[in-house]
Amino acid sequence: MSPWTPRWAEPPRGPRVLYAIISMGCALLLAAPLVSLMMHDEDFAARTRIVPIPMTTSRTPVPGPSPASPSFDGERREELTRALDRYLDGRPGRLSVAVRDLATGLSYSYNPEHRPGTASVVKVAIVAALLLKAQRQDRALTAAERALAERAITVSDNDAATALWHGIGGGPGLARAVKKLGLRRTEPGPGTAWGATTTSASDQVRLMAALTSSGGPLTGEHRRYLRGLMEDVVEEQAWGVSAAAGEGGDCALKNGWLPREADGGAWTVNSVGHVRDGGHEYLIAVLSDRQSSMGAGVAAIEHVTETVTRALAEASAAVQTEGSGRHEG
């Protein structure tokens, strides 16, 4: 007994053992329900466990304003179409354009039913067909194939393109490749007339997308290889869609130009490419035929390229400005 226990609380010495037995039995009777609860309730320990709370400081994130989604609505599209109509009115020839800005998601097309001859822009598809063939055969390009591909793209060598045309199986080989690449309105030229292949501006943008997207059939190595050739086009052939690249911008492109007997000697002039400039990343194709001269075709392509990409950039900037203004406090 502890020193502070009052004497009157101590049981007589005789029945102490009996008292202890009775006390112990009572304790067991009282504890039994609790023990039973603990044995049958699987969540008991979880509910009664003391979980230490870490002493850390944290800041509840405050959601910011949702970024404005760029929009190129009907009014803006109609205004751009009217501007192109005014520019082309009275000028000889026909022209179509397709542009997609990968940075903003905006796109625009003009005269989508136009399907002129490709002239030398088909060389991009020919080299892409060669790369797809090498992938099927699980091999690298030979030194001879690489030399031909380089000449066909960078200096637009026709003999090199003809050799590659035979190497991919001619028109049927190109037809298989363009289907694999997702082109829908491209028809290979007859025999060895690869320059007479017909296409649409939208199909050429799809081809450019296949060179920039990991979702396409070409491997990353082959996409980079072909874009690299297009970036190394000789300076005198670097006109056309490069007009979308401002100072400090860069461009991968391929152009084509050809006076066609079928059009009475009038010129087919085309330009396709991938242009990065000022936060924008454009896939562009401008196709024209029945031009009075090569120079007239080049001037028209560059004017239209600048007009369309400027309109897309202005539409994106306007929406972003509006969105920013709506969230000011």
Residue 167's nearest CA partner among 187, 197, 141 is 141
**Is residue 147 in some structural domain?**
yes
Domain with residue 207: its CATH number is 3.40.710.10
Distance of CA 226 to the CA centre of its chain: 17
Q: Which amino acid is at 286?
A: V
Is residue 188 within 8 A of residue 171, CB to CB? The reply is yes
What angle (nearest 5°) sits at the alpha carbon of residue 226, between those of residues 288 and 300? 20
98 vs 290: CA distance, rounded Å: 19
Q: Is residue 275 part of a domain?
A: yes
**What is the count of structural domains for the chain?**
1
Retrieve residue 198's tokens.
């017909």
Q: Is residue 61 part of a domain?
A: no
43 located within any domain:
no
Per-residue pLDDT of the chain (329 residues; tens, 9 = 90+): 443 333 333 344 444 443 444 444 444 334 444 334 333 333 333 333 333 333 333 333 333 333 445 678 889 999 999 999 999 999 999 999 999 999 999 999 999 999 999 999 999 999 999 999 999 999 999 999 999 999 999 999 999 999 999 999 999 999 999 999 999 999 999 999 999 999 999 999 999 999 999 999 999 999 999 999 999 999 999 999 999 998 889 999 999 999 999 999 999 999 999 999 989 999 999 999 999 999 999 999 999 999 999 999 999 887 565 554 444 43
* Residue 218 belongs to some domain of the structure: yes
**Angle between the N-to-C axes of helices 170-180 and 158-167, in degrees from 0 to 180, rounded to the nearest 10:** 80
Could you tell me if residue 278 is inside a domain?
Answer: yes
What are the angstrom distances between the C-alpha of 234 and each of 90, 162, 230, 231, 255?
Answer: 33, 20, 9, 9, 11
> Is the CA virtual torsion 18, 24, 26, 32 positive or negative?
negative
25 lies in a domain?
A: no
Residue 126 lies in a domain: yes
**Domain coverage including residue 273:** 94-326
